[in-house]
């Protein structure tokens, strides 16, 4: 039940909270409230995902019909569970109220778009960003500047309007755009990190480093061949 789940979350964060001198009774109370409120609110984030997914599907189907080719290979979405929202809310620190949590956590709704080619990644991001009802909140280009571990992807947080019966809600959605090679690397890295709980043996770390270079090289080679398939779009901005 809710109480025991919240208790378990507080217990899991106990060390950190004690170090921060947090009143644990009060925190547990706040977390219980956040838990209940967010369980209702979570639906709005699903609507945000639905809106973005519709946009992506429209682009994809239009491309398939006109060009017999789609720059989008696959699309997956996920909605953060209430448990992992609370876990992240505690981990990131700050006020444990719904407005404060919504202001600091922008990946409650996530949509991952996988493309064949790097230029298509930027192209799709560009097309979505130029849609008048989407507002771009942040862009993190880990393709131009990969993370130290070799992670590459384009992250765009967009805000999408969701029209409810009584009001319009603006929901942030985290878009992760990447190539098939980037996705393959990231999912493997994720599985390994999960298995080793971030303490990867040096040999595996080196193997991953090397795989990241190979994946980036493959993307470059594929990009050169792409030109043969279809000319570069006008608006792409890699």
Q: How far is the CB of 97 from ligand GTP (least distance, A)?
A: 19
List the catalytic residues: 174
SS3 for 16? Answer: helix
First to last CA, the chain: 49
Q: Which of Mg ion, ligand GTP, none binds 85 (CB below 5-8 Å, type-dependent)?
A: none
Our CB check for ligand GTP shows the closer of 28 and 218 to be 218
Does 87 contact Mg ion by CB under 5 A? no
Residues in the site for ligand GTP, rule: CB under 6 A?
Answer: 107, 140, 147, 149, 151, 155, 176, 186, 189-190
* Contacts of residue 202, Cβ cutoff 8 Å, sequence gap at least 6: none
Our CB check for ligand GTP shows the closer of 32 and 88 to be 88
Q: Which of Mg ion, ligand GTP, none binds 149 (CB below 5-8 Å, type-dependent)?
A: ligand GTP
* Contacts of residue 41, Cβ cutoff 8 Å, sequence gap at least 6: 98
Q: How far is the CB of 88 from Mg ion (least distance, A)?
A: 8
Does 107 contact Mg ion by CB under 5 A? yes
Q: How far is the CB of 202 from ligand GTP (least distance, A)?
A: 17
The residue behind tokens 């959605």 is: 173
**Number of residues written out for the chain:** 238
CB 152 within 8 A of CB 171: no
Our CB check for Mg ion shows the closer of 36 and 107 to be 107
CB 230 within 8 A of CB 193: no
């Amino acid at each position: 039940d809710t109480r025991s789940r919240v208790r378990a979350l507080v217990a899991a964060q106990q060390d950190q909270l004690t170090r921060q001198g947090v009143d644990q009774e009060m925190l547990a109370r706040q977390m219980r409230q956040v838990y209940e409120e967010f369980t209702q609110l979570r639906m709005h984030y699903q609507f945000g995902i639905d809106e973005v997914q519709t946009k992506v599907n429209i682009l994809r189907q239009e491309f398939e019909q006109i060009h017999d080719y789609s720059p989008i290979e696959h699309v997956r979405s996920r909605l953060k569970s209430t448990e992992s929202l609370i876990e992240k809310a505690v981990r990131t620190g700050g006020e444990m109220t719904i407005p404060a949590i919504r202001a600091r956590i922008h990946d409650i709704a996530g949509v991952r778009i996988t493309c064949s080619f790097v230029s298509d990644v930027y192209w799709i991001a560009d097309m979505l960003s130029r849609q008048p009802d989407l507002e771009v909140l942040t862009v993190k280009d880990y393709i131009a500047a990969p993370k130290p571990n070799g992670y590459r992807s384009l992250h765009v947080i967009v805000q999408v309007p969701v029209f409810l019966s009584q009001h319009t809600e603006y929901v942030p959605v985290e878009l992760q755009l990447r190539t098939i090679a980037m996705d393959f690397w990231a999912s493997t890295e994720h599985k390994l990190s999960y298995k080793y709980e971030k303490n990867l043996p040096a040999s595996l770390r080196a193997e991953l480093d090397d795989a990241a270079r190979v994946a980036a090289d493959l993307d470059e080679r594929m990009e050169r061949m792409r030109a043969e398939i279809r000319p570069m779009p006008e608006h792409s901005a890699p």
